[in-house]
């Protein structure tokens, strides 16, 4: 009986052991089942972040692109798209910077590649030539936004990263600039992505080769890109134990490769060996000839430029500077250093300090993260104030110079008399885009304004001479009716002064484009398009 009982107990123990083994197997099976789910989740990640976050950021920047329909500075067309159009389609206007070889072809080559692909596909319509480059720039800016978020998540935590990300996305100046085809925009994008790989304490993505390659690329696109990186590079070099190895095996080879690439590309398009980075720095820094386009007092960036670019982020930036940990002192040093260097140059513009704006967003995010009682009102204020300013500057302010190009496009593509048409843009030089926004070999002319490189004290550009006495200039320039352009484009403030010429030459106003009144004598709140008529027909 004992044996039977023992056998029965052994039998039940065997069943129990088997059930426990099955339980264990099920647990192992469930663990294995969860494993692929995790790996699948990783595969769904894009750029190392959640897919939904990536798609949201991209979608936002695409909307950003289409909600910016205004003009900022001429360089976004004349130093990128116009050059690319000339490279691919063999017509377009190259400004004096290109004849003097102050600019390199690296940046326009990006858009020229896009144009070439569209041309080969037979899709090179004027609208695609305008918007595809801007969409490409928007996607690059979205990548930079995500890299800033990823970096802060590594350095701090997800909560701080979210507030930095929020500040970055709702910055009015970032919204205004990040989809424009400006070298400053690309400079900012490369700076943020390079910062992601920069060796900071707590960073898991540090890679000296990657960040220094991006810095070198930013430098050959726009030489002033090195300014914010001076303190960062010095810090890296100072903290590196193997300094000689860093210099000889990383910085030197990367510099050699990027400079060689720049030299070869510029040699192909200029037809001679040219070091455009030296020419650029010589003109803008050593000779400070940028003052030809305006000058400001030394304190302008501190008193006006930097506060305007930061906007309502400014109090949060100041607050965050006191709260942020010591590791971010290098960011503050970078911001101050950049402002000081640019302050020493006479010619100043808001866009020059755009690359340090993401550094500032780190401190703004820190500030929001530490707010307690006033957090919700602060967030609402920051969002609403920036979005109102972003929408106004993106949809209203200075939009006439782009809208008027639509009239020229209609003239080219919807006019049976286009073969006899010609356009004269009587506005401050480079006020509008040119062939990159027309994509038709229409005879066009604008008032020239190249700087004096010969050192003459009484030098006047064609635009200066015109505005001294517009009516006299017009009668002298067009003394023969056969030389008159069929269409004139002017700012509204000029209409009254040249009205005798318009009447005597049979010009009639055919279109009005809202612009925005600027505090300058040569611009107005509207742009007028005049067409020359003769007995009711186009002459």
Report pLDDT for 41.
40
Between 522 and 416, residue with greater pLDDT: 416
> What would the pLDDT profile of 428-475 be if each residue is shown by its tens digit?
999 999 999 999 999 999 999 998 877 777 889 999 999 999 999 999
Between 31 and 419, residue with greater pLDDT: 419
| Backbone phi, psi, residue 23, to 5° | -60, -45
> What would the pLDDT profile of 82-135 be if each residue is shown by its tens digit?
999 999 999 999 999 999 999 999 999 999 999 999 999 999 999 999 999 999
Report pLDDT for 365.
96
Q: Rounded CA gap, 432 and 73, in Å?
A: 9
**Residue 345, CA distances (Å) to 133, 227, 300, 452, 533 in order:** 31, 13, 11, 18, 49
Task: Please answer whether residues 404 and 511 qualify as being in contact, where contact means their C-beta atoms are separated by less than 8 angstroms.
Answer: yes
Residue 522, pLDDT above cutoff 80: no
> What would the pLDDT profile of 306-362 be if each residue is shown by its tens digit?
999 999 999 999 999 999 889 999 999 999 999 999 999 999 999 999 999 999 999
Residue 524, pLDDT above cutoff 80: no
Residue 181, pLDDT above cutoff 70: yes
* Nearest alpha-carbon partner for 528 in 505, 510, 506, 507: 510
Report pLDDT for 32.
35
What is the percent of the chain where pLDDT is above 70?
A: 90
| Backbone phi, psi, residue 491, to 5° | -80, 150
The overall average pLDDT reported for the chain is: 89
Residue 137, pLDDT above cutoff 70: yes
Kindly state the tokens that stand for 101: 């070889």
Report pLDDT for 44.
55
Instruction: Name the pTM for this structure.
Output: 0.89
Task: Please answer whether residues 424 and 448 qualify as being in contact, where contact means their C-beta atoms are separated by less than 8 angstroms.
Answer: no
Alpha helices in 345-452 (DSSP H): 357-370, 375-395, 400-413
Report pLDDT for 521.
57
Alpha helices in 171-207 (DSSP H): 172-177, 183-197
Task: Please answer whether residues 236 and 199 qualify as being in contact, where contact means their C-beta atoms are separated by less than 8 angstroms.
Answer: yes
| Backbone phi, psi, residue 204, to 5° | -100, -5
Per-residue three-class SS string for 308-366: HHHHHHHHHHHHHHHHCCHHHHHHHHHHHHHHHHHHCCCCCCHHHHHHHHHHHHHHHHH
Report pLDDT for 287.
76
Report pLDDT for 517.
62
Between 300 and 373, residue with greater pLDDT: 300
Positive or negative: CA dihedral 331, 332, 335, 337: negative
> For the chain, how big is the Rg over CA atoms in Å?
30
Look-up of token digits 């890299």: 147
Positive or negative: CA dihedral 524, 529, 530, 535: negative
Between 11 and 200, residue with greater pLDDT: 200
Report pLDDT for 30.
38
> What would the pLDDT profile of 11-64 be if each residue is shown by its tens digit?
444 445 544 444 444 444 433 333 444 444 444 577 788 999 999 999 999 999
Report pLDDT for 523.
74
Q: What's the rounded mean pLDDT across residues 363-388? A: 94
CA quadruple 58, 61, 65, 68: dihedral, nearest 10: 170
Report pLDDT for 535.
57
Task: Please answer whether residues 355 and 188 qualify as being in contact, where contact means their C-beta atoms are separated by less than 8 angstroms.
Answer: yes
3-state secondary structure of 534: strand
């Amino acid at each position: 009986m004992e044996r039977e009982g023992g056998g029965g107990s052994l039998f039940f123990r065997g069943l129990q052991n088997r059930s426990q083994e099955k339980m264990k197997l099920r647990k192992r099976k469930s663990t294995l089942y969860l494993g692929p789910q995790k790996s699948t989740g990783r595969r769904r990640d894009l750029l190392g972040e959640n897919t939904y976050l990536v798609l949201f950021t991209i979608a936002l920047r695409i909307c950003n692109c289409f909600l910016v329909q205004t003009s900022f500075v001429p360089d976004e067309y004349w130093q990128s798209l116009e050059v690319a159009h000339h490279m691919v389609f063999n017509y377009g206007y190259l400004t004096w910077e290109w004849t003097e070889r102050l600019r390199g072809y690296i940046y326009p080559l990006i858009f020229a590649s896009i144009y070439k692909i569209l041309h080969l596909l037979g899709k090179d319509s004027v609208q695609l030539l305008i918007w595809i480059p801007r969409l490409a720039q928007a996607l690059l800016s979205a990548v930079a936004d995500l890299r800033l978020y990823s970096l802060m998540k590594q350095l701090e935590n997800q909560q701080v990263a979210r507030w930095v990300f929020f500040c970055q996305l709702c910055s009015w100046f970032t919204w205004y600039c990040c989809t424009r085809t400006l070298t400053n925009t690309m400079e900012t994008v490369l700076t943020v992505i390079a910062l992601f790989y920069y060796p900071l304490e707590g960073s898991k993505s540090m890679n000296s080769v990657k960040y220094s390659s991006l810095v070198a690329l930013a430098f050959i696109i726009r030489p002033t890109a090195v300014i914010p990186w001076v303190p960062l590079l010095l810090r890296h070099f100072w903290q590196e134990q193997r300094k000689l190895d860093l210099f000889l095996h990383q910085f030197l080879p990367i510099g050699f490769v990027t400079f060689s690439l720049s030299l070869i590309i510029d040699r192909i398009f200029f037809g001679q060996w040219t070091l455009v980075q030296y020419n650029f720095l010589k003109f803008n820094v050593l000779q400070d000839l940028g003052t030809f386009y305006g000058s400001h007092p030394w304190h302008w960036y501190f008193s006006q430029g930097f506060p305007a670019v930061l906007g309502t982020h400014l109090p949060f930036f100041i607050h965050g500077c006191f709260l942020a940990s010591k590791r971010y002192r290098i960011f503050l040093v970078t911001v101050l250093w950049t402002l000081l260097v640019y302050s020493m140059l006479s010619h100043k513009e808001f866009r020059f300090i755009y690359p340090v704006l993401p550094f500032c967003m780190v401190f703004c995010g820190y500030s929001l993260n530490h707010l307690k009682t006033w957090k919700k009102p602060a967030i609402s204020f920051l969002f609403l104030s920036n979005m109102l300013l972003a929408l106004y500057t993106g949809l209203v302010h200075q939009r006439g110079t782009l809208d008027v190009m639509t009239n020229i496009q209609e003239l080219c593509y919807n006019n049976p008399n286009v073969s006899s048409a010609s356009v004269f843009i009587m506005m401050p030089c480079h006020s509008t885009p040119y062939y990159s926004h027309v994509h038709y070999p229409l005879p066009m002319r604008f008032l020239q304004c190249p700087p004096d490189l010969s050192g003459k004290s009484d030098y006047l550009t064609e635009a200066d001479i015109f505005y001294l006495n517009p009516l006299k200039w017009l009668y002298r320039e067009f003394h023969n009716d056969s030389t008159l352009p069929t269409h004139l484009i002017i700012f509204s403030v000029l209409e009254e002064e040249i009205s005798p010429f318009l009447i005597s030459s049979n010009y009639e106003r055919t279109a009005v484009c809202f612009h925005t009144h600027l505090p300058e004598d040569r611009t107005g709140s509207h742009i007028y398009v005049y067409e020359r008529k003769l007995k009711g027909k186009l002459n």
